[in-house]
Amino acid sequence: MPRIAAAVDRRIRAQARNRCGYCLSPQSLVLSSLEIEHLTPQAKGGSDDESNLWLACSVCNRHKSDKTSAVDPETEETVALFNPRTQDWFEHFRWSEDGLRVIGLTPIGRATVIALRLSDIPRTLTVRGYWVRAGWHPPED
C-alpha cells in the first residue's frame, strides 16, 4: 500500500464512506484498518489508478484475492464479481431478515456472496449478531 499516495488513500476512504465495499463493515466497528483493494487485481494487470481502487475489509479482501469472476449458483454462469465503485450494493444484495447474512439478488450478487464468503464464515456471523443486538447493523444505505 505504500505505492498509493496518501491523498488518494484519503479520497478512496471518503468515497467508500469508510466501509468495506462488499460486506459494508464500517471502519468504526473493525479492529484492523480497512484495506485499499484493486478492483482488477494487480496479478491480472490492474493498475494503481484511483479508478481501480476501493476499500475492503481484510476478510473480504483475502477471499477476493485475485478473483475477478465467479459462478452464479442459480444460473451456473460465470459472471464478473460485484464492483463497489461502479455498482450499487442494494441492487445486487440485501440483508437477511436477522441481519446476519448477505443475500445475493442478481447473478453478480449471488456469485460474489459465494466467492467472498460474505455469509458463511461463523465468526463473521457471530460478530454481526453482536452488531445487530447493539443496533449498529445492518446498514440501510
Catalog residues that contact Zn ion under the rule CB under 5 A: 20, 22-23, 57, 60
Burial profile 85-110: b = 16 or more Cβ within 10 angstroms, e = fewer: eebebeebbebeeeebbbebebbbbb
We find the least distance from the C-beta atom of residue 137 to Zn ion, in angstroms, to be: 13
**Smallest distance from Zn ion to CB 75, Å:** 25
Q: Which is nearer to Zn ion, 102 or 107 (CB)?
A: 102
- Least distance in Å: CB of 50 to Zn ion? 20
Judged by beta carbon, residue 52 or residue 58, the one nearer Zn ion is: 58
Nearer to Zn ion, 89 or 107 (CB): 89
Nearest CA among 43, 108, 121 for reference residue 80? 108
